[in-house]
Amino acid sequence: MTSQAKQRLLVTGRSGFVGQSLAQALDTAEQGKRWSLVDIPDTLDLRDRAAIAQLVAQARPDAVLHLAAQSAVPESIRDPETTLQINVTGTLHLLQALDAIAFRGRFLYVGTGEVYGLVPEAELPVAETRLPRPRNPYAVSKLAAEALCWQWHASHRTDVVLARPFNHIGAGQSDRFAVSDFAHQIVAIKRGLRAPVIRVGDLDVTRDFTDVRDVIDAYFALLERGIAGEIYNVCSGAEHSLAAILRELVELGGVDVKIETEPERMRRAEQRRMRGDASKIRAATGWTATTPLRVSLRAALQSWEGSIADA
């Protein structure tokens, strides 16, 4: 009796934080028995319609996980045009390429919880039924691309599922993001590469953080059990302040530091608190975030310890 052939999964954004973590997970996780990753060049540019068309025509995937994006909010504010080109036009190119091969698999679009915008604290946690009110070009671009994907589902009958992940953390994340930046600074201090001062923005805000490994499990759950045309929050359902996270990282790092706030790290009109509602994805797929925060923070520190040399 022959074993069932693996399904071919095209993952855009393979060189990013989640993409790299997903590739590593497939080497060891249960999903690796069901899925094989399509080879994709690191230099692939979503704005290059011909290159996208060629890749899809050659790969002929059974399913697509669309991760690739310009995902940094400050960069989107600095250069909104490029953000829109990559996130919206790039998604259009991918959908058109799939149409050209008469794709009939599942297309999982990864958006962002940023689309909800400023949410009053009394209205937390945020559910998928809330009307989006994006407040930066990154969130605008992701909501526009999400709407485009849903239109493809309605008009082209493409099997589309829409994910709205909240903040995720863990090993391998860029230090453009706060928690990884804290971990980076702590390891550099521990190695004697910088003075024992951690520079921060607003530490009083709270966010809903999910370990990247749990996020990946959520994406596979949606690929396999999500309902076509539906939107799902991907979040832990818990909120943690950046101040508490920094204290935990400092303790795990074993360093004695001074904390200094830098005005340029502060965002205008910052959301003070954020917590997502994960009940819909749990009901549809059984998924829930399970990795303790301390485990995620230790992984972030260990990742930087492996990439920063001693002084």
Find residue 160's DSSP bridge partners: 107
> With bands split at pLDDT 50, 70 and 90, how would you rate the model's confidence at 308?
confident
**Per CATH, domain 7-172+208-238+275-291 is 3.40.50.720:** yes
Mean pLDDT of the chain: 94
DSSP per-residue letters across the chain:
-PPPPPEEEEEE-TTSHHHHHHHHHHHHSGGGGTEEEPP--TT--TT-HHHHHHHHHHH--SEEEE------HHHHHH-HHHHHIIIIIHHHHHHHHHHHTT--SEEEEE--GGGG-S--GGGPSBPTTSPP---SHHHHHHHHHHHHHHHHHHHH--EEEEEEE--EE-TT--TTSHHHHHHHHHHHHHTTSS-SEEEES--S-EE--EEHHHHHHHHHHHHHHPPTT-EEEE--S--EEHHHHHHHHHHHHT---EEEE-GGGPPTT--S---B--HHHHHHH-----S-HHHHHHHHHHHHHTTS---
What is the average pLDDT across 202-216?
A: 96
Question: Does residue 1 surpass a pLDDT of 50?
Answer: no
What is the average pLDDT across 101-125?
A: 97
> With bands split at pLDDT 50, 70 and 90, how would you rate the model's confidence at 32?
confident
Sign of the CA dihedral with 298 first, then 303, 306, and 310 last: negative
What is the average pLDDT across 67-80?
A: 94
pLDDT for the residue numbered 3: 54
What is the average pLDDT across 294-298?
A: 98
pLDDT for the residue numbered 282: 98
> With bands split at pLDDT 50, 70 and 90, how would you rate the model's confidence at 72?
confident
Angle of CA points 143, 13, 286, to nearest 5°: 70
Q: Over the stretch 36-69, which tens digit does the pLDDT of each residue have? A: 999 999 889 999 999 999 999 999 999 999 999 9
Question: Does residue 310 surpass a pLDDT of 60?
Answer: no
The pTM score is 0.95
Q: Over the stretch 185-199, which tens digit does the pLDDT of each residue have? A: 999 999 999 999 999
What is the average pLDDT across 264-289?
A: 89
Question: Does residue 294 surpass a pLDDT of 50?
Answer: yes
What is the average pLDDT across 215-236?
A: 98
Residue 114 structure tokens: 């940023």
